[in-house]
A and B are shown apart, each in its own frame.
Chain A
Amino acid sequence: MALVPNMPQVWRQETKPHKFCPGCGHGLVLKTLGECIDELGIQDRVIFGCDIGCSLLSYDFFNVDTVQTHHGRTTPVLTGIKRARPDRICIAYMGDGGGYAIGSQHLVNAASRNEKITVLLANNCNYGMTGGQMAPTTLPGMKTETSPYGRDVEQTGNPTQGPEMVAAITPENAYVARGTIANLRQLKRMIKKALETQINGVGFSFVEALSACPTNWRTNAKDTWHFVEKEMTQYFKVGEKKVPPEKEEQ
């Protein structure tokens, strides 16, 4: 008998295996989120929203009510839901293009208003679904379809520091962190704290997860892992950026 790995109870078995490419980081981030939903016992209260881009493939991922929206617009849709029904746990799931480019005004303003929602953002340094274009998070010198000679920071700026930006504009009681699929236990603690921040009604919560896109990076497993662990972390420092008082990770 083959050993079947334990999957979160909230996973919708009918839609598995999931639709992401082999080696994609989304599955890991979503598995981690699923474990948090299980452990917090909030499945019947969660409203999950996903963006355009690869994140949209999560629209039928969980046994939770889900809405797939437009590119960048998951934050306002979930904000609208939360404002109308504060008893729901609203999770907005998106990629770096959705959060830091086309939907950046929504992220900035939801953070500034300290909306009681959780934004979970997968950072894979490129636009995956559209075929690997340069994203706000593309590393300097990194080759993409729209930076074929490598990202020129003189022309296109440096990688967006999302959690640092959100931490700078949120009030003290917000939760902001950057985790990575290379350390799922830590990522899980972060997502859980983010959700608790929302459950407790204290503030905005935001977790960026460093993720992988071997399809567009054109990397094998070893190089993919090297990129996530060694290359991305040169620009994106993993850790908590803002923790509601008395809740700092030991």
Chain B
Amino acid sequence: MTDKPVKGVKRFFVTGNEVVAWAALAAEADIMYGYPITPQNEIMHYWTRLAPKYGRKFLQTEDEISAGFTTCGGVLSGARAFTATAGPGNTLMQEAMSMAEMMSIPTVVAVMQRGGPSTATVIYSQQEVTMTCFGGNGEGLRIVYSTGSHQELYDYTIKAFNTAWKYRIPTFILGDGYQAKMREPVIMYDPAEKGINMVPTEKILGAPGMPGVDRDPQHLQNTYNTEEELYEVVNQLVERYWKAAPEIVEHEEFQCQDAETIIVAHGVVTRAAQAAVDELRAQGKKVGHFRPITLRPFPKEAMKKAIQNAKEIIVVESAQGQLDKIVKSEIYEAKVPITGYFRPGMGITAEEIVEFINQRG
């Protein structure tokens, strides 16, 4: 038995990509399949340096289609397998993720969002929200954690493996180029020391015994002949998903109780939103902030409660209304006016948010 990669509890000052690699090691991930794309490359760089020391594996594939499908294969064989991607790579990976959705394959994917559409920038955006939540030809039966700090990258990468394997739902850690590339303090720990037990994996294919003799063979299909057959399968998937959803949803609230204006933001933008709330409160304005951590499933009930007394909602995001679209569909009944502050592919500061809200009077 090789040593545990992370022992005890230690403080580091590192990039987010490095954090994800360490977290995957700490989470006992067996294998990473990956293809280079900025800004997620260093996840692979650190993994390839560290993995052999702890008996873990890596395969560099020919493209993200292959990275997605090899990850599906690894998971089916019972490995805690993951991959990482961004932008156009995320686009290619959606094909495999729709198979994961259909066949309940607990894949884990770290996405470090870059500018879009197309090749765009290698820097930063929040423009992969729609694709990560609803990509592929499917029904969005995924779990998407939108992280806002290096600590969360560590915590939620570990959690993603457990959520994926517990519920058998493909799970994403949705970061971005800022989180990927910047350095900040993070506390790394051995999950066991925090009472986090890794959910055991299962050899979905290749379990012990002679198939057809000791046990039935696994015949996994994603093709169906009739509408009724497919309908039944999808209904089961949908039912299972929404049954699990209340246990999965996560959010944070900042001074929402008496807030007249509520800023809704996710990912790294929550930091600007939190600072904006402090500043606007200091100016005597009743402003709060609601932050969904799971973008899919969305913490709908929590948000409805949080906005009970609100007179307006401001959705702030580094995209042209991708979170906005989700918010509007989730709280349709609320009748609170929603305004967007959209900066596709641009970073957002607290000052901008303060100015935007103050200009509205």
Chain A residues with CB under 8 Å of chain B are 10, 12, 43-45, 47, 52, 56, 59-60, 62-70, 73, 76-85, 88, 105-106, 108-109
Contact = CB atoms under 8 A, between A and B. Distances in A.
B47 interface: no
Among A12, A44, A108, the most chain B Cβ lie within 10 Å of the Cβ of A44
A56 B224 CA distance: 11
A81 B218 contact: no
Contacts of A82: 73
B73 A76 contact: yes
Contacts of B30: 84
Given A47-B206, A56-B223, A81-B73, A66 B218 contact: yes
A59 B73 contact: no
24 contacts: A45-B206, A52-B223, A59-B221, A63-B210, A63-B217, A64-B211, A65-B206, A65-B218, A66-B217, A67-B103, A68-B219, A68-B220, A69-B69, A70-B99, A73-B65, A73-B69, A73-B96, A76-B61, A77-B73, A80-B33, A80-B69, A83-B33, A84-B73, A109-B66
Contact of B77 (A12, A45, A64, A88): A88
Given A56-B223, A76-B69, A83-B57, A63 B74 contact: no
Contact of B65 (A52, A68, A76, A80): A76
Contacts of A78: 73
B1 interface: no
Interface string B205-233: 11101111100011111110000000000
B70 interface: yes
Nearest to A45: B206
Interface string B54-77: 000101011101100111111111
B31 interface: yes
Among A59, A79, A108, the most chain B Cβ lie within 10 Å of the Cβ of A79
Contact of A80 (B70, B209, B218): B70
A68 B210 CA distance: 20
B217 A70 contact: no
B77 A80 contact: yes
A81 B62 contact: no
Contact of A83 (B59, B218, B221, B223): B59
B76 A67 contact: yes
Nearest to A66: B219
A43 B73 contact: no
A77 B63 CA distance: 13
Contacts of A81: 73-74, 76-77, 205-206
A76 B66 contact: yes
B106 to A, nearest CB: 14
A52 B103 CA distance: 15
B324 interface: no
B81 interface: yes
Contact of A43 (B59, B78, B210): B210
B79 interface: yes
Given A65-B218, A105-B66, A84 B57 contact: yes
Contacts of B65: 73, 76, 105-106
Contacts of B70: 76-77, 79-80, 83
List the 9 shortest-distance A-B pairs measured between CB atoms, nearest first.
A80-B73, A63-B212, A80-B70, A109-B62, A84-B79, A76-B69, A77-B73, A84-B74, A81-B73
